[in-house]
Every structure is written in C-alpha cells, then in structure tokens.
Amino acid sequence: MHSYGVEPLQGIRVIDFTQYLPGPFATQRLVNMGAEVIKLEGLSGDPARQLGAVFKEASLVFEVNNQGKKSMAIDLKRKEGRELALRLISQADVLIESFRPQVMHKLGLSYEDVKQVKPDIIYCSLTGYGQISSMAHLASHDINYIALSGLLSQLRDSEGRPIHPTIQLADLVGGIMSNEAILAALLKKERTGEGSYIDLSLTEAMKSLMTTHCSIQEETGRRCGIPMIDGAIISYHIYETADQRYVSLGALEYKFWRHFCQAVDREDWLDAHLTNADVDNPIYTGMLELFKSRSLREWTQFGREIDCCLTPILEIDEVEWQDDVTGVSLDKDKAKWNHSNFNRKSPPELGEQTEGILSSLLQLNKNEITDLKNKGVVL
C-alpha cells in the first residue's frame, strides 16, 4: 500500500466488469489511489468469490483484490440490465472489462455503444490475446501467457526444465500495465477532453518485459538475457546456508565484492570477482563452504552490517513479519506486524450496494427498485 496524502484519484468513478485476478488487481490499485470502483457482477457474482483458499467463508483471492469496492449485482443479458449499466456508465470516467472479445459487443456494451452515452469514456479491454489476434477466441490462463512470452523459458531447474511458478506473473503484471494505461488515459483526458480505448493483451504485456532478452538474443544468440546476472558468476549468485536456507548475493560491482571479501577475511578472493560459479572453480567451492558455515540469521545480520548486497531469501510468512523495509527479524515474537493488509477495507458482499447505486446515482425510487428485484434484473 502507498501513502499519497491527498488521494490523487478522488472523484474518479470506475465501472468494473472484470473477474478473477488481473482486472480486480488493477482496479484495486485504483481504489488505493482514491477512485470509486463500482463492481458490476452477474447475479451469481464474480467466480473469484469461490476461488482458492477460504478464510471466514470468503475467498482470499476475492477479498484481497476487491477491498473498498462497491458491488452491484445485475443481469446484463436482460434489456433492463443493459439499460441500467449504460445509465451508470454515463456517469463514470473509466470502464474496464475482461470478457472474451465480442462479449461486450453482444451485450450492447462495446466501446462504440458506450461512446454514445459517454463520449469521453476511458474504456479498457483486458484479455489474454487481445481483440483481433489469431488466438483471440481461445481460452487461456496465466501459465499460457508466460509460456508464450518467453518468460517461462527463463525459469529453469538445474536440469534445464521449466519451473512451474507459484505466482500469477502475467495476471499481476497485466493488471499493473492496464492500471498504468488507464492513468495515462486520464491524463490525456485532462489535457484534451478526449476519451480512449485501451486494448491490453496479457501476453503482450509479458512480452514487453522480454525486450532486453530479445535484443540480446538477436544480436548475440544468447537466450538467457544479460550476462553475469543469471547466476553464472560467484559474486551474483544464490547460496545455501548452514540451516538449509538460502541467501542472495548481488555483489556485481567490485566495491561490494571487496566489502564482502574483506569482511570474511578472504582478500585472496578479490581477483575472483567475476569468475564462474562452477565446481571446477576453487573459489566457488570455497564460497559454497563458507555460506554453509553460518545460519540464515547470521548471514542476515552480516548483510545488514556489511554493504555487499547480501539478503536472505524469505519465505512468504516471513515477509509479513518485518522490523522495517530494509531489516528483517526472523523472530516473529519480537517483530512488529507490518503487513499491508492490516488496515485493509472489507470487500463488498454480492450486490451490497445495488440499492444505494440505483437510488443515489440513477435516481430510482423504492418501487422501481423493488420491481427490478422482482423481475430478477438486479439482486
């Protein structure tokens, strides 16, 4: 979470048709900056409400990515539901959706449809493969996007096999990039009064992370990016500790390597700074032995005292318990709680704000709202 002082997006209203992770993650970031996000859900709700780990009868995936939003449950397959959605959109600044291509067109809620009621709308379509690519019609998930982008090929085990990530890189990066594009479009609108259409492909978002790798491959034939930072040298490497934990050493610049060598009383290693992390290298085998001679806690303290770019590789439960951003306490009983979700807002119940939105924004009276509920248009 960030502290902006005066929330920069206060007064900005976002209509959110997204589900699962990428879109909700993007709009959660807009909430954090002060935007009002109205989540338009089907009558059965965002499927993420039942996805993955559950805490107190709520999906943590949904809870974490929908804090502080408003939920309106509406049947968009019905004419009355679409008309309500358009009326709501006419009072918004941003619309973001993550359906397959053509779904919003079939619902009568495409960019061209929406422009008729809100000419300066910022409309973001977030999909796996974009709106018009040869794969646009195919189902897909995070693992597919990172596979096609070339990124997954960079994550390999010691035998060269791709490692299955346990974090949704494309979903999260794509969410950030759609958020970035929306913010840029808001700035454009402020300057010109014009709206924008954003076609954001999660696969293309991930490919944009690989531009340096692609350039290096084209010019040199090397497939694994920038030399020296891929674990091939002893000063930029991961090492195992005495207690079967791991630390990351990033002493790429010579001064940091010098600090390290002097602190461990091995100035005879100074000239080995950029030598290979290979068992045939006696300095490397010496490094392996050295790191296995101390515990993770000891190396953590060493890294705080010696300016040599040495940090522990933390487990996820340890990330939550920290003294501050730069210092990690591995003693949970003494560390203070520093988790960003400590003061988090609650996510909305399905349709929790439906009546309020119909009443305050669309100016419907109680009888009209009751009639819509009885017809099954809203929940």
Taking CA 322 as the corner, what is the angle to CA 318 and CA 325, rounded to the nearest 5 degrees? 120
The pLDDT value given to residue 336:
41
Residues 6+ apart with CB under 8 A from 340: 1
Band (102; pLDDT cuts 50, 70, 90): very high
The pLDDT value given to residue 69:
97
CA dihedral for 371, 366, 37, 122, sign (positive or negative): positive
Give me the residue spans of the domains in the chain: 13-209+346-374, 236-313
The four Cα atoms 28, 32, 35, 38 give a dihedral, to 10 degrees, of: 30
The pLDDT value given to residue 331:
54
**b or e along 263-277 (b: 16 or more beta carbons within 10 Å of the residue's beta carbon)?**
ebeeeebeebbebeb
Instruction: Give the three-class secondary structure for 41.
Output: strand
The pLDDT value given to residue 3:
54
Distance in angstroms (rounded) separating the CA atoms of residues 40 and 199: 20
Residues 6+ apart with CB under 8 A from 56: none
Predicted model pTM? 0.87
Distance in angstroms (rounded) separating the CA atoms of residues 112 and 56: 42
The pLDDT value given to residue 131:
94
Band (317; pLDDT cuts 50, 70, 90): confident
Alpha helix (H) ranges present in 101-166? 103-106, 111-117, 142-149
Res. 255: pLDDT tops 50: yes
**Model confidence pLDDT, tens digit, residues 51-89:** 877 766 678 999 999 999 999 999 999 999 999 999 999
Any idea which architecture 13-209+346-374 has in CATH? 3-Layer(aba) Sandwich (3.40)
Lowest mean pLDDT among 103-107, 124-128, 158-162: 158-162
Band (316; pLDDT cuts 50, 70, 90): confident
Rounded to the nearest integer, the mean pLDDT of the chain is 91
Can you read off the two tokens belonging to residue 26? 């993007």
More confident of the two residues 65 and 330: 65
Scan for tokens 């960079």, then name that residue: 154
Lowest mean pLDDT among 78-92, 130-144, 327-341: 327-341
CA dihedral for 89, 94, 98, 103, sign (positive or negative): positive
Instruction: Give the three-class secondary structure for 351.
Output: coil
Q: State the average pLDDT over residues 182-205.
A: 97
CA dihedral for 320, 321, 327, 331, sign (positive or negative): negative
- Answer for the pair 296, 241: CB distance below 8 angstroms, yes or no: yes
Report, as residue numbers or ranges, the catalytic residues: 171
The pLDDT value given to residue 7:
85
Distance in angstroms (rounded) separating the CA atoms of residues 187 and 190: 5
Report which of 73, 75, 69, 96 is spatially closest to residue 348, judged by C-alpha positions.
Answer: 69
Q: Helix 169-192 to helix 22-32 angle, to the nearest 10 degrees?
A: 50
Instruction: State which H helix or E strand residue 192 sits in.
Output: helix 169-192
Four-way CATH pick for 236-313: 1.25.40.10, 3.40.50.720, 3.30.1540.10, 3.40.640.10? 3.30.1540.10
The pLDDT value given to residue 339:
39
Q: State the average pLDDT over residues 277-282.
A: 96
Amino acid at 312: P
Can you read off the two tokens belonging to residue 289? 């032995």
Distance in angstroms (rounded) separating the CA atoms of residues 28 and 26: 5
The pLDDT value given to residue 37:
98
Q: Helix 169-192 to helix 142-149 angle, to the nearest 10 degrees?
A: 80
